[in-house]
Structure 1
Amino acid sequence: MNDPTPPPPPSVPAAEAARAAARDDATGTAQPAYDPAIDPDDTGVPQAAPGADLAATGRGFLRSLFDVSFSTFITRRLASAFYVVGLVAIGIAFIVYFVGGLVSGIGALWWNPGAGISLIVATLIVVPIAAFLAVVVLRFIIEAVVALIAIAENTQQTAENTERG
């Protein structure tokens, strides 16, 4: 069952294979190694090359936006914008419910002091907690969507590399 003979050694030393893998097949020039310190979104998916034409990037975005085959993803590009819009919406809702609860509580003090105090205290406790939880849920949802898109992009890149190899 267990064969005691080890597998044969590779035909190319590991250091030489690593150097060969770091070179571009077409040009033979060395490619920079992946550096997580300069990865803007920490997903490992390469971003646009340094010095890339920004106008071409914009055209790529519009082309991606109207791509009916969904072969390119725009979600990662828009995630921060969605997050900011969500934070603004949560902030506005917080202010509306907080001020509304306080005004209602103060108004209720005239006809039922116990209900007015309860409403003010509930507003001071519940509205900030609800706003905080809304921010956490928003962040979780956006991170989950971005992670799914990153997985899809990595899977697509792996499939393309597998087909070439």
Structure 2
Amino acid sequence: MSDTNPPTPPPLPAQPADVAARTTDPVGAASTPAYDPATDPDNTGVPTSLKGEADDIGRGFFRALFDLSFRTFITRRLASIFYLVGLIAIAIGFIVYFVSGLVSGINALFFNVGAGVSLIIATLILVPIATFLVIVLLRFLIEAVVALIAIAENTERTAEHTRTGSGPH
């Protein structure tokens, strides 16, 4: 059973998307300032000019640290510090494994030349590769946690706008 009639296209909206985006709702415009991505300090797309309980810009670090309700997230503030400490720990591990591998390879040269050369070559190849993979994994984990926090913050702001009706219409 084939139908010879072509499918009908979906109906078009009343106005193009760019026109709809430029028009503002006077009720929403009065309660919420316009978001300017150029002034976004953390480049997440989340406006920091919103007022309310979800907006914890004015809170101090220690107040946020001891917030027992966990409504204030400090992870985004500390992500770069965690990354720096992780990179330092990885660098220390790299130096320790690299030097100990080379020393062990040189010591093994006195007893078995083949084993010593193999250990030195393995150290020269495997330690930098493993270090690179650990750095990528560290970055991936920190970015994943920061993304989850950003999602939670965005969801809280969306829920707040839904409850108060102050969001764009």
Aligned match of 2:64: 64
User: Are 1:33 and 2:35 an aligned pair?
Assistant: yes
Q: CA deviation at 1:112?
A: 0.8
Counterpart residue type for residue 96 of structure 1: V
CA-atom RMSD in angstroms: 3.1
1:55-110 Cα shifts (integer Å, max 9, x gaps): x95x5211110011111100000000000000000011001100110011001100
Aligned to 1:43: 44
> 1:18 aligns to what SS in structure 2?
coil
Match of 2:110, SS state, is helix
Q: How does the TM-score come out when normalised to structure 1?
A: 0.77
1:18 aligns with 2:24: yes
Distance 1:133 1:93 in 2: 13
**Displacement of 1:19 after TM fit?**
6.2
**Do the aligned residues in 1 keep the contact of 2:90 with 2:131 (CA within 8 Å)?**
yes
* Distance across 2 between alignment mates of 1:22 and 1:109: 76
Secondary structure at the residue paired with 2:103? helix
Give the unaligned 5+ runs of structure 2: 1-10, 51-56
Q: TM-score, normalised by structure 2?
A: 0.75
Larger relative contact order, structure 1 or 2 (CA cutoff 8 Å, min sep 6): 2
Q: Distance in 2 between matches of 1:62 and 1:48?
A: 22
Q: How many residues align?
A: 148
Q: Which residues of structure 1 form unaligned runs of 5+?
A: 50-55
Structure 1 residue 34, shift from structure 2 partner: 2.2
Counterparts of 1:8 and 1:116, CA distance in 2: 77
Task: Write 1 or 2 for the structure with the bigger share of helix.
Answer: 1
**Contact 1:105 / 1:120 at 8 angstroms: preserved in 2?**
yes
Runs of 4+ with >2 A deviation: 5-9, 13-17, 19-26, 31-34, 37-42, 46-49
Please report how far the alpha carbon of residue 20 of structure 1 lies from its aligned counterpart in structure 2 after TM superposition: 2.8
